[in-house]
């Protein structure tokens, strides 16, 4: 139930955030918006979730994912309804910004699945939930034009029909928030965070600031945030522009452009999930180093096919075929990121998830502002196909920093682990001697034992001996406490 509630809430946040992009040709004619204004509003939509995702990472670490999910849906539902009231560019962009805040549901979704599933399948679980949620970015391009057309066919003028259409996702926001509160659980035990903390079953992670410092102070978080900006960020950009691109480039009507544009997002029904599965599968023989290699290869291929998509702009058939291949690699790379993220920090897992998720929105905002907003003078001569080409080049270049991610107990793409360093060493460093004395580190130590699977079976270090004999760093901390 927790799994399904998490992805359904995330799915609806995508539907509402990109619903205005689905109806962009109609809305721009009614509000007399220019293409640069449509582009700027699209940037506003993805900017809203940048700070919200970081905040949500801290919030779910404290109160749990169930309250985080339901609060997000209830607080942003009024913004969805307010889309019916916009009258000009400023109100349109403002409402898109506030609806976009609900994209922080991604952090709730990933945190929730990361809590409910063990390390052997967490990559797959995170990828399926996030992939099915991301599918809302494609589903809205198919659903919203149909809702609009159905209302219009019922006798409502077009300039009113698109406004009434937003009452559908707004109402579903309230329904999903209510179901999450009534049916969701925070933890495999079936109890919520407050009860578990009162009982002492769920150990406190300590003060909030050390958790934030732990997450933000880990350089691996920042590299993954950057590279995620050019997998998920690219996906968000395509969700924002694809319907308008197909409508203008090939002269399609809105329903056809919406249905074809929906294919890109709907591929998430299996692509992001298979990304997580591939990451988990590669980790069995090759461990974390395998996860890093497959992420770099897949995301680079996504950038290459984005370039090719811009080069075949004269053919609708070729554009759709390449778009499908591009979506597979792009979305698989998204899933692969969250096969790595849970291992960056156990204590600050929510903060790291929030930072990486926010990186996706930053990447989308920057990419769309540079190549698709049409606000700068030099962009006036840049065609949409060329914008796709340069977005692909940017994605290939900014995937290279994956090579700099190094875990002392597992290694990196190019180097092996540091001799004598074990998983307990890495995760214990997140706690002070006083916190260790209080037993706050016990959850991290259990996770450290489970995460030995990230060595891969090709790593010949003996696991049993390590489990029984603390490493030098662990022993040193215990000696300090004593």
In a domain, 470, yes or no: no
pLDDT at 206: 61
In a domain, 434, yes or no: yes
Measuring CA to CA, how many Å separate 146 from each of 250, 253, 307, 442?
A: 20, 12, 31, 52
Q: Are residues 345 and 357 in the same domain?
A: yes
In a domain, 467, yes or no: no
pTM of the model as a whole: 0.81
Of 353, 360, 365, which is closest to residue 96 (Cα–Cα)?
365
In a domain, 448, yes or no: yes
Q: Are residues 62 and 156 in the same domain?
A: yes
pLDDT at 464: 47
**Phi then psi dihedrals of residue 407, to 5 deg:** -105, 125
Q: Are residues 52 and 189 in the same domain?
A: yes
pLDDT at 405: 95
Q: For tokens 């319907």, what's the residue?
A: 243
pLDDT at 91: 95
Which letter does DSSP use for residue 187 in this model? S
Q: Are residues 4 and 95 in the same domain?
A: yes
Q: Are residues 346 and 367 in the same domain?
A: yes
In a domain, 479, yes or no: no
Q: Are residues 345 and 450 in the same domain?
A: yes
Query: Do 34 and 253 form a contact (C-beta atoms < 8 A)?
Result: no
Considering 174, 202, 230, which residue would you say is the last residue of a domain? 202
pLDDT by 10s per residue, the chain, length 482: 888 999 999 999 999 999 998 898 899 999 999 888 888 898 898 888 888 887 887 788 778 888 999 999 999 999 999 999 999 999 999 999 999 999 889 888 888 887 788 767 776 787 788 889 988 988 998 899 999 999 999 888 888 999 999 999 999 999 999 999 998 888 777 767 767 666 655 555 566 778 888 888 999 999 999 999 999 999 989 988 898 899 889 988 888 998 899 899 889 888 988 988 899 889 989 999 999 999 999 999 999 999 999 999 999 999 999 999 999 999 999 989 988 988 999 888 878 888 898 898 899 989 988 888 776 666 667 888 999 999 999 999 999 999 999 999 999 999 988 888 888 888 888 888 887 887 777 878 888 888 888 887 666 666 544 444 344 455 555 455 45
**407 beta partners:** 411
Considering 202, 234, 251, which residue would you say is the last residue of a domain? 202
In a domain, 16, yes or no: yes
Q: Are residues 299 and 398 in the same domain?
A: yes
Q: Which domain holds residue 13?
A: 1-202
Q: How many structural domains comprise the chain?
A: 2
Considering 154, 179, 202, which residue would you say is the last residue of a domain? 202
Q: Are residues 38 and 145 in the same domain?
A: yes
CA separation for the pair 446, 5 (Å, rounded): 27
In a domain, 473, yes or no: no
CA separation for the pair 11, 169 (Å, rounded): 11
Of 228, 294, 224, 305, which is closest to residue 264 (Cα–Cα)?
305
Which uninterrupted H or E stretch holds 254? helix 254-266
pLDDT at 377: 63
**What contacts 133, CB < 8 A, 6 or more positions away?**
6, 7, 8, 9, 10, 11, 13, 14, 105, 106, 109, 268
**Phi then psi dihedrals of residue 470, to 5 deg:** -60, 145
Q: Per 3-state DSSP, what percentage of the chain is helix, strand, and coil (rounded to 5)?
A: 80, 0, 20
Q: Are residues 332 and 412 in the same domain?
A: yes
Q: Are residues 224 and 79 in the same domain?
A: no
Q: Are residues 249 and 355 in the same domain?
A: yes
Query: Do 343 and 288 form a contact (C-beta atoms < 8 A)?
Result: yes
CATH number for the domain spanning 105: value is: 1.20.1250.20
Q: Are residues 193 and 215 in the same domain?
A: no
């Amino acid at each position: 139930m927790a799994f399904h509630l998490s992805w359904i809430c995330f799915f609806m946040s995508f539907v509402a955030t990109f619903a205005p992009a689905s109806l962009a040709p109609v809305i721009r004619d009614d509000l007399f918006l220019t293409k640069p204004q449509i582009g700027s509003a699209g940037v506003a939509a993805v900017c809203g979730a940048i700070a919200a995702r970081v905040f949500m990472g801290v919030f779910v670490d404290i109160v749990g994912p169930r309250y985080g999910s339901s609060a997000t849906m209830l607080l942003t539902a009024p913004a969805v309804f307010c889309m019916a009231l916009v009258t000009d560019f400023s109100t349109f962009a403002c409402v898109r910004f506030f609806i976009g805040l609900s994209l922080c549901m991604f952090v709730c979704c990933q945190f929730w699945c990361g809590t409910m599933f063990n390390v052997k399948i967490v990559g797959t679980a995170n990828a399926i939930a996030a992939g099915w949620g991301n599918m809302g970015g494609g589903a809205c391009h198919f659903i919203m034009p149909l809702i609009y057309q159905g209302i219009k066919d019922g006798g409502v003028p077009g300039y009113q029909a698109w406004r009434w259409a937003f009452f559908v996702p707004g109402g579903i926001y309230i329904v999903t928030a209510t179901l999450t509160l009534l049916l969701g659980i925070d933890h495999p035990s079936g109890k919520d965070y407050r009860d578990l903390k009162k009982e002492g079953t769920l150990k406190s992670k300590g003060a909030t600031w050390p958790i934030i410092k732990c997450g933000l102070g880990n350089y691996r978080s920042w590299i993954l945030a950057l590279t995620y900006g050019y997998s998920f960020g690219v996906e968000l950009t395509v969700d924002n522009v694809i319907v308008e691109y197909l409508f203008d480039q090939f002269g399609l009507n809105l329903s056809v452009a919406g249905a074809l544009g929906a294919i890109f997002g709907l591929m998430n029904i299996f692509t992001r999930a298979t990304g997580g599965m591939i990451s988990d599968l590669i980790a069995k023989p090759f461990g974390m180093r395998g996860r890093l290699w497959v992420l770099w290869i897949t995301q680079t291929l996504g950038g290459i096919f984005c370039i090719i998509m811009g080069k075949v702009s004269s053919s609708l058939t070729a554009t759709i075929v390449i778009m499908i291949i591009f979506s597979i690699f792009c979305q698989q790379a998204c899933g692969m990121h969250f096969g790595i993220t849970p291992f960056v920090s156990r204590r600050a897992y929510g903060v790291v998830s929030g930072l990486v998720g926010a990186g996706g929105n930053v990447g989308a905002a920057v990419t769309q502002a540079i190549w698709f907003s049409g606000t700068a003078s030099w962009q006036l001569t840049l065609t949409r196909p060329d914008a796709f080409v340069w977005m692909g080049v940017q994605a290939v270049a900014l995937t290279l920093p994956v090579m700099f991610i190094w875990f002392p107990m597992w290694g990196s793409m190019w180097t092996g682990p540091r001799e004598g360093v074990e998983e307990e060493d890495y995760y214990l460093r997140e706690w002070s001697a006083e916190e260790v004395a209080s037993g706050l580190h016990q959850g991290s130590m259990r996770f450290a034992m489970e995460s030995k699977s990230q060595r891969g079976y090709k790593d010949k270090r003996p696991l049993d001996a390590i489990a029984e004999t603390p490493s030098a760093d662990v022993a040193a901390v215990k000696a300090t406490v004593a």
